[in-house]
């Protein structure tokens, strides 16, 4: 268990923070969305359209299970839906230290309200979709996390520093 895992809603900055943290701490960066796409041989959007969301969720659980079996230390950015399954939340506890990057629905909407790569936001009213998903998910992200980092209004550099210094304290 020496991984650092970033969880949180789509658009909260997991990948951007993860890549920068990986430079800062000199650890490799992994992204469960990318690992799922490699495993499925298609993009997440294609998987949702051609095979349905349950197929993607099953792949996501396989990917995090494989990561739990690895012995090396990595910075891992997760897909926003990964911590929703109880089974995955349990696995996360074994995989490493988990940080929840908490953002408000307003911040999320500003960043990705018009994104076309995220199938869950391809709807008439992405703003209300973000708000309702956030309400459901925030308690689950909090339950899965060892630490919550509020990201609104902070630049990536300060978020990276905050996580790096917490890692020193917590390990
Ligand atoms: C999802 C988040 C996405 C991706 C998929 C589903 C979700 O990842 O896994 O579109 O359920 O929140 P990001 O959080 O990296 O956008």
Give kind and range of the element (H or E) at residue 4. strand 3-7
Q: What is the pLDDT of residue 105?
A: 97
Closest atom of ligand 1 to CA, residue 36: 9
Candidate from 39, 120, 132, 144 with most ligand 1 atoms within 8 A of CB, to mutate: 120
Q: Pick the residue whose CA is nearest to atom 8 on ligand 1.
A: 79
Of 32, 46, 63, 23, nearest in space to 116 by CA: 46
Q: What is the pLDDT of residue 108?
A: 97
Q: In what order do the strands lie in the sheet with 3-7?
A: 29-31, 75-77, 3-7, 96-102, 147-150
Candidate from 37, 49, 81, 105 with most ligand 1 atoms within 8 A of CB, to mutate: 81
- Categorize the per-residue pLDDT at 168 as very low, low, confident or very high, splitting at 50, 70 and 90: confident
Can you tell me the mean pLDDT for 117-125? 94
φ, ψ dihedrals at 127, nearest 5°: -65, -50
Kindly tell me if the per-residue pLDDT of 1 is higher than 70.
Answer: no
- The DSSP code sequence of 62-95 is HHHHHHHH--S--EEE--TTGGGSHHHHHHHHHH
CA distances from 130 to 3, 4, 101, 171 (A): 29, 26, 15, 34
Kindly tell me if the per-residue pLDDT of 42 is higher than 60.
Answer: yes
3-state secondary structure of 6: strand
d(CA 34, CA 51): 17
Read off the pLDDT of residues 138-152 as tens digits, 9 standing for 90 and up: 999 999 999 999 999
- Categorize the per-residue pLDDT at 25 as very low, low, confident or very high, splitting at 50, 70 and 90: very high
Ligand 1: does its nearest atom lie under 6 Å from the Cβ of 113?
A: no
Read off the pLDDT of residues 45-55 as tens digits, 9 standing for 90 and up: 999 999 999 99
Closest atom of ligand 1 to CA, residue 8: 14
- Categorize the per-residue pLDDT at 2 as very low, low, confident or very high, splitting at 50, 70 and 90: confident
d(CA 89, CA 80): 12
Can you tell me the mean pLDDT for 10-22? 97
Candidate from 57, 58, 80 with most ligand 1 atoms within 8 A of CB, to mutate: 80
Q: What is the pLDDT of residue 171?
A: 65
- Categorize the per-residue pLDDT at 154 as very low, low, confident or very high, splitting at 50, 70 and 90: very high
Percentages helix, strand, coil for the chain, rounded to the nearest 5? 60, 15, 25
């Amino acid at each position: 268990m020496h991984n650092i895992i970033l969880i949180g809603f789509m658009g909260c900055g997991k990948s951007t923070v993860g890549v920068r943290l990986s430079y800062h701490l000199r650890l490799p960066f992994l992204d469960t969305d990318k690992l799922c796409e490699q495993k499925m041989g298609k993009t997440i959007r294609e998987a949702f359209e051609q095979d349905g969301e349950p197929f993607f969720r099953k792949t996501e659980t396989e990917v995090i299970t494989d990561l739990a079996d690895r012995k090396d230390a990595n910075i891992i950015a997760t897909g926003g839906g990964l911590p929703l399954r109880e089974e995955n939340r349990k696995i996360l506890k074994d995989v490493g230290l988990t940080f929840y990057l908490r953002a408000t629905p307003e911040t999320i909407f500003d960043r990705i309200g018009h994104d076309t790569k995220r199938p869950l936001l391809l709807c008439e009213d992405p703003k209300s979709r973000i708000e309702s998903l956030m309400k459901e998910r925030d308690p689950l992200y909090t339950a899965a996390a060892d630490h919550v980092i509020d990201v609104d209004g902070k630049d990536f550099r300060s978020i990276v520093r905050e996580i790096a210094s917490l890692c020193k304290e917590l390990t």
